[in-house]
């Protein structure tokens, strides 16, 4: 696993970094195809978090003593690692939250209620995860914001003509769309969407929960105003997410949560907010999780995002060569630009039954609607199974899935 930006990666060495991958399930090898829900963790992440707790733990930003200073330095070093990872201009543009969900809710409250005006609109798309849908419905109901939903095509790509139409009246304050669908695998043309939003006078937020895991994302190239991702899908721990936002926007936004650490001065009469990013990090932050996220970023960067992307592209090609040709299997979405997420339905069985049968073969896939109920309604399917790949997924595992699905079709005939 050496060599920055290496076009290839040593899959066996990578798999050896993930202890759980050598587990068995009822005597069968564990084939984990649910990284889109939450990825497994390498020793490097687990070790960094344990070392922090064993040797360098204290609360941050509080104590003048050695351990607290050390913990604060480690926490802030993680912020700088995220800044580099996203190519953000300024480390103050990185806010640690609990998750992508928390980050989007932060924007919906602070930017939505604090900066947007009633009568303005937010545009989302038909393929959003509930995390990038429900907060905007709440904003709509609380603050008189119109919620517009840009259509997707039958191939599962964002309908850019419809997006342009939804932007045309100049009332849109924010376009909030996914950078990669957690159901269809579709990667959206983010730089183009940002340009369209900006030309219409709107800001743009990308839900990068899936995208940031699979390819390099660059805030300068995208010109994103807001970008969110979540640690646990990036081989890091749960309990930590990231909001990137341009500094000028963060300066203009009121805080989301009040409490310790987010203030510069407090009297009974009033409080003065801390400068960014502190203004948006009330209370004790996810300290150990930030250390874990830093280790996860170091881990994927040592492999190289281009190498990860190339590996996953080969897996996608292999899956596309097999899955759509299995009798009775319908795949949702055929986007040109896509990542390793495949939602499918079997004509003769419910998704839960298919997933249960796959589990008997040691294959873990998710079944249900994957927090995207309106998207399933859009495609007229009640529920699907979803297989999603990680950097440790092997071509053989893709074949195992295809073989097992073929057998499942036989079983449920
Ligand atoms: C596209 C997308 N957005 C948002 C989320 C929410 O992430 P979290 O549950 O970590 O907040 C997910 C997770 O499933 C996702 O796939």
Task: Write the secondary structure of the chain as one string of H (helix), E (strand) and C (coil).
Answer: CCCCCCCCCCHHHHHHCCHHHHCEECCEECEECECCCCCCCCHHHHHHHHHHHHHCCCCCCCCCCHHHHHHHHHHHHHHHHHHHHHCCCCHHHEEEECCHHHHHHHHHHHHHHCCCCCCCEEEEECCCCHHHCHHHHHHHHHHCCEEEEECECCCCCECHHHHHHHHCCCCEEEEEEECECCCCCEECCHHHHHHHHHHCCCEEEEECCCHHHHCCCCHHHHCCCEEEEEHHHHCCCCCCEEEEECHHHHHHCCCCCCCCCCEEEECCCCEEECCCCHHHCCCCCCHHHHHHHHHHHHHHHHHCHHHHHHHHHHHHHHHHHHHHHCCCEEECCCCCCECCEEEEEECCECHHHHHHHHHHCCEECEEECCCCHHHHHHCCCCCEEEEECCCCCCHHHHHHHHHHHHHHHHHCC
Q: Are 155 and 335 in contact (CB under 8 A)?
A: yes
Same domain for 131 and 270, yes or no, is: yes
In-domain check, residue 125:
yes
The pLDDT value given to residue 7: 60
In-domain check, residue 6:
no
Give the pLDDT band (50/70/90) at residue 156: very high
Same domain for 360 and 390, yes or no, is: yes
Ligand 1 atom closest to the CA of 131, numbered from 1: 4
* CATH code: domain of residue 174: 3.40.640.10
Active site positions, annotated: 371
The overall average pLDDT reported for the chain is 96
* CATH code: domain of residue 397: 3.90.1150.10
Ligand 1 probe mutation, 37, 128, 230, most atoms within 8 A of CB: 230
Same domain for 272 and 358, yes or no, is: no
Residue list, ligand 1 pocket, CB within 6 Å: 99-101, 129, 131-132, 178, 182, 207, 209-210, 230, 232, 241, 371
Same domain for 66 and 95, yes or no, is: yes
Same domain for 192 and 179, yes or no, is: yes
Q: Of 284, 301, 318, which residue sits at a domain end?
A: 301
Q: How far apart are CA 165 and CA 364, in angstroms?
A: 41
Same domain for 309 and 173, yes or no, is: no
Same domain for 53 and 156, yes or no, is: yes
Percent of the chain with pLDDT over 90: 95
Same domain for 223 and 245, yes or no, is: yes
- With CA atoms as reference, report the closest residue to 204 among 231, 179, 233: 179
Same domain for 351 and 362, yes or no, is: yes
Ramachandran class of 201: left when φ > 0, alpha when ψ lies in -120 to 50, beta otherwise:
left
CA 382 – ligand 1 centroid, Å = 21
In-domain check, residue 65:
yes
Give the pLDDT band (50/70/90) at residue 26: confident
Q: Of 301, 335, 352, which residue sits at a domain end?
A: 301
In-domain check, residue 2:
no
CA 297 – ligand 1 centroid, Å = 18
Number of domains in the chain: 2
Q: Of 280, 301, 322, which residue sits at a domain end?
A: 301
For 77-126, how does the pLDDT look when each residue is reduced to its tens digit (9 = 90+)? 999 999 999 999 999 999 999 999 999 999 999 999 999 999 999 999 99
Same domain for 22 and 80, yes or no, is: no
Same domain for 224 and 340, yes or no, is: no
In-domain check, residue 129:
yes
Same domain for 385 and 247, yes or no, is: no
In-domain check, residue 4:
no
CA 129 – ligand 1 centroid, Å = 7
**Structural domain boundaries, residue 101:** 46-301
For 62-83, how does the pLDDT look when each residue is reduced to its tens digit (9 = 90+)? 778 999 999 999 999 999 999 9
In-domain check, residue 179:
yes
């Amino acid at each position: 696993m050496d060599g920055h930006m290496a076009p290839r990666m040593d899959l066996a060495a990578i798999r050896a970094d993930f202890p759980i991958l050598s587990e068995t399930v009822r005597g069968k090898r564990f084939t984990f195809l649910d990284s889109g829900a939450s990825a497994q963790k390498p020793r490097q992440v687990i070790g960094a978090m344990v070392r922090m707790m064993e040797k360098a733990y204290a609360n941050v930003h509080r104590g003048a003593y050695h351990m607290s200073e050390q913990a604060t330095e480690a926490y802030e070093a993680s912020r700088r690692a995220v800044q580099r990872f996203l190519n953000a201009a300024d480390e103050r543009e990185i806010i640690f939250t609990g998750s992508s969900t928390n980050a989007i809710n932060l924007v919906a409250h602070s930017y939505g209620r604090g900066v947007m005006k009633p009568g303005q609109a937010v545009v989302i798309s038909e393929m959003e995860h509930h995390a990038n849908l429900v907060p905007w419905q709440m904003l709509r109901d609380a603050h008189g914001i119109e919620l517009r939903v840009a259509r997707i095509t039958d191939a599962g790509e964002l309908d850019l003509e419809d997006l342009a139409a939804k932007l045309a009246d100049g009332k849109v304050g924010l376009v909030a769309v996914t950078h990669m669908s957690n159901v269809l695998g579709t990667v959206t043309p983010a730089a183009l969407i940002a340009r369209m939003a900006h030309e219409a006078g709107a800001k743009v937020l990308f839900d990068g929960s899936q995208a940031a895991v699979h390819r390099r994302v660059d805030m300068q190239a995208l010109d994103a105003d807001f970008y969110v991702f979540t640690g646990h899908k990036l081989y890091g721990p749960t309990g930590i997410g990231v909001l990137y936002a341009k500094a000028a926007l963060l300066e203009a936004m009121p805080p989301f949560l009040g409490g310790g650490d987010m203030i510069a001065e407090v009297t009974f009469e009033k409080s003065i907010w801390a400068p960014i990013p502190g203004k948006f990090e009330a209370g004790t932050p996810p300290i150990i999780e930030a250390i874990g996220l830093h280790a996860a970023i170091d881990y994927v960067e040592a492999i190289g995002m281009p190498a990860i992307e190339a590996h996953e592209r080969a897996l996608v090609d292999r899956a596309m060569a097999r899955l759509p040709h299995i009798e009775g299997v319908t795949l949702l979405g055929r986007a040109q630009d896509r990542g390793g997420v495949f939602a499918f339905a079997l004509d003769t069985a419910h998704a839960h039954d298919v997933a249960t049968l796959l589990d008997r073969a040691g294959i873990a896939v998710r079944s249900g609607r994957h927090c995207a109920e309106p998207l399933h309604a859009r495609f007229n399917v009640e529920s699907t199974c979803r297989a999603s790949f990680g950097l440790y997924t092997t071509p053989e595992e893709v074949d195992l899935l295809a073989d097992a699905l073929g057998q499942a079709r036989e079983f449920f005939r």
